[in-house]
Amino acid sequence: MLSSVFTKSLWDQRRSLVGWIVAVTAVGVLYAAFYPIINTPDMAAAMDAFPPAMRDAMGFTDMTSAAGYLGSTTFGLLGPVLIIVMGAALGGSAIAGDEEGGRLDLTLAHPVSRWLVLVERFAALIVAMLLTALVLWLALLAISGPAQLGELSVTNLAAASLHLAVFGIFFGALALAVGAATGSRALAFGVLAVVAIGAFFGNNLGPTVQGLEWLRDISPFHYYSGSEPLRNGVALIDLTVLAVAALVLVGLGGLRFDRRDIAV
């Protein structure tokens, strides 16, 4: 585990990574476990009473099918929120956190290039996200019987989990890139919060306002869940859009990181 920047980054994060995995999985599983209680005719009637525009804005669409319920809860709200915060924490600490803590000097004084450090830390972030999604998927499979989620296929659950991971990788890349370009974790968090909130409302409200439909097309949320992976499986094009956007962000951050002074 001590042979490269990549493995060492994962090794150093192992405790916090376990924490994130437990948090994301626990929230996902708890939500899912409530499905048998929510899935009643009364609830369906209650949901129908909401104006459709409001249901869309809140992301609650169809609460009476397993795909609709899980897509509105575990994968619709708290899952993405947690994974964004996880992306902020991991991405922000990868370069900016080390720099603010005064630890980056020592690493960069070694025979490793700044690009290598950036890319290997990004790779560690990708692995962390995929691992989190993998555990979430396994946990949902484990409870799918008692939680009456049997109608969801194993592959579609995997697809939704993979979408969540790539979504997290995008936001992690954003925090990593801003942190690498500026050396400021606070700025990385700030930019990420603005983008995340903008993306959420752009995706949910954009289509309801005339002339703002395009907002949805630039929202990462759209590429995360617009294709409804719980029903339709993996949307390769959407994932590619998120992945390419993440790579571009890291590349831009790296260009600046390679040129600038490292703060003491």
CB of residue 90 to another protein, shortest distance in Å: 15
Options 4, 148, 184, 208; binder of another protein; rule CB under 8 A: 4
Among 159, 168, 165, 156, residue whose Cα is nearest residue 133: 165
Q: In b/e form, how buried is each residue of 4-24, taking b as 16+ CB within 10 angstroms? A: ebbebbbeebeeebeebbeeb
Query: Token pair of 250, please?
Result: 């890291």
CB of residue 98 to another protein, shortest distance in Å: 9
Q: Scan for tokens 């897509």, then name that residue.
A: 71
Candidates 47-55, 83-91, 109-117, 165-173: pick the segment binding another protein (CB under 8 A): 109-117
CB of residue 264 to another protein, shortest distance in Å: 7
Candidates 98-106, 186-194, 200-208, 228-236: pick the segment binding another protein (CB under 8 A): 98-106
Query: Token pair of 121, please?
Result: 């830390």
| 8 touches another protein by CB under 8 A | yes
CB of residue 196 to another protein, shortest distance in Å: 28
171 φ/ψ angles, rounded to the nearest 5 degrees: -70, -35
Options 42, 110, 145, 236; binder of another protein; rule CB under 8 A: 110
Options 19, 36, 102, 190; binder of another protein; rule CB under 8 A: 102
| 184 touches another protein by CB under 8 A | no
CB of residue 83 to another protein, shortest distance in Å: 24
Whether the CB-CB separation of 56 and 197 falls below 8 Å is answered with no
| 112 touches another protein by CB under 8 A | yes
Query: Token pair of 67, please?
Result: 């795909």
Whether the CB-CB separation of 80 and 171 falls below 8 Å is answered with no
Where do the H-state alpha helices sit in 13-78?
14-33, 35-38, 41-49, 52-58, 66-72
Compute, in degrees rounded to 10, the torsion defined by CA atoms 178, 107, 120, 89: -50
148 φ/ψ angles, rounded to the nearest 5 degrees: 60, 40
Among 175, 185, 192, 196, residue whose Cα is nearest residue 253: 175
CB of residue 1 to another protein, shortest distance in Å: 8
Candidates 1-9, 64-72, 155-163, 171-179: pick the segment binding another protein (CB under 8 A): 1-9
Residues 11-70 that bind another protein (CB under 8 A): 12, 15
CB of residue 100 to another protein, shortest distance in Å: 11
Candidates 7-15, 177-185, 190-198, 246-254: pick the segment binding another protein (CB under 8 A): 7-15
- The nearer residue to another protein, 22 or 263, going by C-beta atoms, is 263
Residues 211-250 that bind another protein (CB under 8 A): none
Binding site for another protein (CB under 8 A): 2-5, 8, 12, 15, 101-103, 105-113, 259, 261-262, 264
